[in-house]
Amino acid sequence: MDAITNLLKIISDFVAELIRSVLGFSPLLAELVTMGIAAVVLITFAALSFMGLTYVERKVVARIQDRLGPNQAGPFGLLQPLADGIKMFTKEDTTPATADRWVYNAAPLVIAVFALATYAVIPFAPGVVGTNLNVGVFYVLAIGSGSIVAILMAGWGSNNKYALLGAFRTVAQLIGYEVPMLLNVLTVVLVTGSMSLIDIINHQTLADGNPGIPHILMLPLPALVFLISGIAETGRSPFDLLEAESEIVAGFHTEYSGMKFALFFLGEYVNALAVSFVFSTLFLGGYAGPILPPYVWILLKAALVFFVFMWLRGTLPRVRIDQMHALNWKFLVPMSTVNLVLVMLVLKLFPTSESAAQAFGGLLVTPWVQTIILAAVNLGVLFTALTLAARAARRFRQAEEEMIMRRRAANLAAAKA
């Protein structure tokens, strides 16, 4: 039982020990080789899950839309990712004659590298994590901004109007949705008191005096907003304006084909999967869970989040660009800011630790009571924001209708005259 629970840990320790015994003459070299192998394993995991996810996503979305999905290559079309891979490898790759060659060729590499770098901090099981940074969440948020640069590089390097316009649109979307993401990760850090992803998971497990409450119960609103902005950050439907074919062809990667296009695609999926992992870690308790071994739990939770992504993709229509920006700047950001302030006040006014209560005043409560208060405040903010938004939308519609009526009246008068 114990062996199964700690399977990943045992394997990784064994490999590290093996390398240490082989390269015993130089501890530094052994350390570096161990890190290199760990990095290669993580990258391979990400690349393989990318291939698998393309198949799963096509199947799931097809089922949602009452289609069959890929079913020709192999049984149930299972060999489809392989066929796609072979095609990508052997497809002719053109570089536009007017392109800025260096920038054009570097862009897919940069986007893939930054997407894969996120996996360095994701914990898969106790003791099985690339590296436990004490600025873990901050690192995840920061490394995401690397892909913004890559997109601008692709847009500029292609020297193509559609690509450049697509890049501008994409960047406006990505930087916009990074703001609510930041604000809501901040609430998690407030509750946890640490930026390390391991500490955040430990705060949600039932060990050393922790209540074992997943953050999604404590902070339902940040979880929701993080999910929405995560979808927008990875450019997935319904926020896939960056590839609105009818408007800007394929967006910033219009000119790319073959393996370079595949790298963009990989970056997109790897990022989406990373967001699922980070969401599971921040709000669903990461690898913590009863009975099943931890690595199964984190994979299950991430798969669940990714399934929500696919579900939304299969059912929701694409939003308009003005709606997308309005949703972010006029709804999510103000709401998250107000929520952040209220969470701060609640945490200070209803502390759970005795020392804090004695030092700074406030009402000492049990963790569950604090959770209920936080959740109530969160839902209150959400409800208020929704009501206000609905009222504003109604007023907006009325004004629009009035204007149309006035125009009609004016037309009528003109026709009479």
Partner 1 sequence: MTLQQVIFIILAIAVIGSALFVVTTSNLFRGALMLIVAFFGVAGFYVLLDNGLFAVAQVMIYIGAISILIIFSVMLTRGMQAMIPRNAQAGSVAIAAALLFLILLLAFGPFRLVVDLSGVPILSALFRTESARVLGGVPWQFANREVPETYIADFGRALVDLNQFLLPFLLVAFLVDAVLAGAIYIARQRKPAEVIAEREAIAKEEAEELAALQPQPNAPTLPQGAIASTADH
Partner 2 sequence: MRTDFAFVGVMIVSAALLMGVTLLAASFLRPKKPNTAKLSTYECGMETVGDTWVQFRVNYYILALVFVLFDIEAILLFPIAVAFNALPLFAVLNVVLFILVLLAALLYAWRKGALDWE
Q: Hey, which residues between 216 and 245 contact partner 2 (CB under 8 A)? A: none
Residue 129 β-bridge partners: 123
Q: Hey, which residues between 184 and 223 contact partner 1 (CB under 8 A)? A: 195
Contact 220, 374 (CB under 8 A): no
Q: Hey, which residues between 267 and 296 contact partner 2 (CB under 8 A)? A: none
Contact 156, 150 (CB under 8 A): no
| 149 forms part of the interface with partner 1 (CB under 8 A) | yes
What secondary structure does DSSP assign to 84-108, as a single string? HHHHHHHS-----TTS-HHHHHHHH
Contact 301, 122 (CB under 8 A): no
* Side-chain half-sphere CA neighbours of 347 within 13 A: 16
- What is the DSSP secondary structure assignment for residue 69, as one 8-state letter? -
| 340 forms part of the interface with partner 2 (CB under 8 A) | yes
Find the binder of partner 1 among 44, 94, 145, 384 (CB under 8 A): 145
| 178 forms part of the interface with partner 1 (CB under 8 A) | yes
Among residues 87 and 408, whose Cβ is nearest to partner 1?
Answer: 408
| 388 forms part of the interface with partner 2 (CB under 8 A) | no
CA separation, residue 183 to residues 150, 229, 327, 382 (Å): 24, 11, 15, 15
| 135 forms part of the interface with partner 1 (CB under 8 A) | yes
- Minimum distance from CB of 222 to partner 2 (Å)? 13
Find the binder of partner 1 among 142, 207, 341, 345 (CB under 8 A): 142
Find the binder of partner 2 among 10, 16, 43, 83 (CB under 8 A): 43
* Side-chain half-sphere CA neighbours of 261 within 13 A: 19
Among residues 10 and 189, whose Cβ is nearest to partner 1?
Answer: 189
Q: Hey, which residues between 104 and 133 contact partner 1 (CB under 8 A)? A: 133
Q: In a 3-state reduction of DSSP, which class is residue 365? A: coil
Q: Hey, which residues between 75 and 104 contact partner 2 (CB under 8 A)? A: 88-98
Which of these, 333, 323, 347, lies nearest to 381 by C-alpha position? 333
Which of these, 118, 152, 100, lies nearest to 45 by C-alpha position? 118
Q: Hey, which residues between 152 and 171 contact partner 2 (CB under 8 A)? A: 158-162, 164-165, 168, 171
Residue 412 touches which of partner 1, partner 2, none (Cβ within 5-8 Å per kind): partner 1
- Contacts with partner 1, residue ranges (CB under 8 A): 28, 100, 102-103, 133-135, 138-139, 141-146, 148-149, 152-153, 156, 164, 168, 171, 175, 178, 195, 406, 408-416
